[in-house]
Structure 1
């Protein structure tokens, strides 16, 4: 049995299947973990959703910002972005089944046997492990309830940008969602920045990568994340695994086999820019 972790799919179904073929992935024996953003700008978002869902207990994904946005568009809260290729999802006979499945996926996976955390964007520099898990659970419980639409209507803001235990209601939930699905850089006082998306070496001096801040959790746990395609080929701490290598932008899809830390890569078969 092997445990595989794959970066952002973004609708790049062909590259995912080519990667899995390289390692002879077998759902009855192996497990696949994905860092979210199953859908968006690739042309096979529907196939990605159906395939991951079909894996049952062998497939695990966290929610990414594009996944949440898709659910929002399904509810009519937002419109489909011009560059997204998700029309086939809306006309699929299993559309509602897929949306219900997607919104019930977690924001954080803690694999205690292998000692790793899977998130889409990152973990707040102000959280320890128990707080991170509790915060994820707060949002997950609402997304899995009948009241999830109100949360999605109110998640499209950048404030608050700093954690406090005193945060309540939608502000608290919005901060949690933004950390898990949108964060890249932070200020040295742990405030979140949502504007800068460049490689770390090109960032303004007042900003630093979230995983470089002085949170003991960032050294205690192995953290696997995606979301940040411009991190490709940038050096990260040995326990921090950035798996989004920009396949949808014409670069490559990356997969990590956890047991021996071997990487597998599949060049993009198409550039969707």
Structure 2
């Protein structure tokens, strides 16, 4: 069995198909792990969702911020941007089935035998492994509840800088987990999340902001974190414990597939002519 991890697909179905063909991916023997943001910006998010739903146990997805946003768009709580190509999902006969598929996906997946965790944006440096598991489980429970739209999805949006505290409760606790695991890039000196800066660390002019992965984290020292979300990194963190896979396919760069057993990256140039 081979474990393949793929960066932010964001609707780039053709590039994903070419990557899988390069490695002769076979769901009867291999596993495909996706760091989230299956949808948005690329031209074929509907095809991407259908593929991962069809993979069943051979596909392992974590939710990204665009995947969660799709839940809000499908329910009419938010409007989709035309460039995100989400209307095809809203109009699809199997749209509701695909949304229910997304609702079942967690914010974190773990491969204990290989000592790694996968999230969309990263792991807050304040959290140990037990906290990560616990807080992600809380969000999964809320997503599967009958009132998930009004109790969670409608309230998950915020631009207020947030920091972790054990005293957080209710929607504030759930929202911190969602924001940290699906939107995090830079942190303030006190560890609070910043939602404004998306540029590469080497281009950063604000000395008070630091990439989350440069903070000392509380995970076991031999664990690795696989994440996406931050295209400006182009897969580089200068930290062997942190494996970044978003390499900007939907922006005209390339899609990255990581073969765990070979410790190898395979790439496919974007077919986006725009």
Q: Secondary structure at the match of 1:117?
A: strand
**Does 1:269 find its partner at 2:271?**
yes
1:225 Cα offset (Å): 0.2
1:153-184 per-residue CA deviation (whole Å, 9 max, x = no partner) reads 00111346100000011111111100011000
1:271 Cα offset (Å): 4.3
Asked if structure 2 preserves the Cα contact closer than 8 Å seen for 1:185 and 1:208, the reply is yes
Asked if structure 2 preserves the Cα contact closer than 8 Å seen for 1:249 and 1:271, the reply is no
1:254 Cα offset (Å): 0.3
Q: Distance in 1 between matches of 2:195 and 2:221?
A: 24
| Match 2:244 to one of 227, 242, 245 | 242
Q: Distance in 1 between matches of 2:209 and 2:25?
A: 40
1:187 Cα offset (Å): 1.3
Asked if structure 1 preserves the Cα contact closer than 8 Å seen for 2:235 and 2:243, the reply is no
1:233 Cα offset (Å): 5.0
> Runs of 4 or more off by more than 6 Å in structure 1?
none
Q: Distance in 2 between matches of 1:36 and 1:252?
A: 16
Q: Distance in 2 between matches of 1:227 and 1:83?
A: 18
Q: Distance in 1 between matches of 2:178 and 2:31?
A: 26
Q: Secondary structure at the match of 2:272?
A: coil
**1:22 counterpart residue number:** 22
Q: Distance in 2 between matches of 1:72 and 1:14?
A: 26
Asked if structure 1 preserves the Cα contact closer than 8 Å seen for 2:235 and 2:244, the reply is no
Q: Distance in 1 between matches of 2:21 and 2:187?
A: 38
> Unpaired segments of 5 or more residues in structure 1?
none
**2:200 counterpart residue number:** 199
Q: Distance in 1 between matches of 2:254 and 2:130?
A: 34
**1:213 counterpart residue number:** 215
1:22-71 per-residue CA deviation (whole Å, 9 max, x = no partner) reads 01000000000000000001110000000011000000000000000001
**1:256 counterpart residue number:** 258
Asked if structure 1 preserves the Cα contact closer than 8 Å seen for 2:7 and 2:35, the reply is yes
Q: Distance in 2 between matches of 1:175 and 1:92?
A: 32
Q: Residues 1-273 of structure 1: matches in 2 within 5 Å?
A: 1-150=1-150, 151-159=152-160, 161-203=162-204, 204-217=206-219, 219-232=221-234, 234-271=236-273
Q: Secondary structure at the match of 1:192?
A: coil
Q: Secondary structure at the match of 1:217?
A: coil
Q: Distance in 1 between matches of 2:196 and 2:39?
A: 22
1:177-233 per-residue CA deviation (whole Å, 9 max, x = no partner) reads 000110000012111111000000112111111011122327442100000000015
When structure 1 is superposed on structure 2, of 83-92 and 231-240 the one drifting more is 231-240
> Unpaired segments of 5 or more residues in structure 2?
none
TM-score w.r.t. the length of structure 1 is 0.97
